[in-house]
Chain A
Amino acid sequence: ETGVTQTPRHLVMGMTNKKSLKCEQHLGHNAMYWYKQSAKKPLELMFVYNFKEQTENNSVPSRFSPECPNSSHLFLHLHTLQPEDSALYLCASSPGLAAIWGEQFFGPGTRLTVL
């Protein structure tokens, strides 16, 4: 256990559905991240939140909408997805302070399939 949980672990949705992915960290960290991992592609950073403020949106389509209500929770709202959005979505956290360089702690991921 890394201290980062993600729900659901698996999700199948149609292109017209709206769903949300949830991430929660119990580590007292201030930075949280969403990554997308597709087959045969490097792990892609999607969003970064630091102290609940979004600091990076890595040119992600608007059909992905992140929400960070507090430093412990991160959501990814999904709407009108495409089949190519099928992937493993990983959440991570880190202390978030520039003075502290260190590892990121990853959740187990949500395997998303878009039909």
Chain B
Amino acid sequence: SQQGEEDPQALSIQEGENATMNCSYKTSINNLQWYRQNSGRGLVHLILIRSNEREKHSGRLRVTLDTSKKSSSLLITASRAADTASYFCATASIIQGAQKLVFGQGTRLTINP
């Protein structure tokens, strides 16, 4: 299975602290993406890292990718209450010309004020 698995399943930290979430997968990938979902809503794309990249930054987000270990991490620095959400990693492949994403179960992040 190419399914990503996030770790931990739930994380609760104080506002201002850094939050780190991990994702592992089983097969080769072209890219790995992180998405955020507020409760009961659609997913919002956060960041994409290609298989030939090792680290990528976007604002307070930092993503790393280790293809030898088939793992990725998402770091949110200086967390805010508004960062409270579920975070999902997704591995990407192409099926008949369309991109297919396989999602993990997600990490539920709670930022306490």
Residues of A participating in the B interface, judged by any CB pair closer than 8 Å = 2, 4, 6, 30-31, 40-43, 45, 48-51, 55-56, 88, 90, 92, 94, 96-98, 101-109, 111
Contact = CB atoms under 8 A, between A and B. Distances in A.
Contact of B40 (A96, A97, A107, A111): A111
Contacts of B95: 48, 55-56
19 contacts: A2-B42, A4-B42, A6-B42, A41-B105, A43-B88, A45-B102, A50-B96, A56-B98, A56-B100, A90-B42, A90-B43, A96-B99, A101-B31, A104-B45, A104-B99, A104-B101, A106-B44, A108-B42, A109-B41
Contacts of B76: none
A104 to B, nearest CB: 6
A53 to B, nearest CB: 8
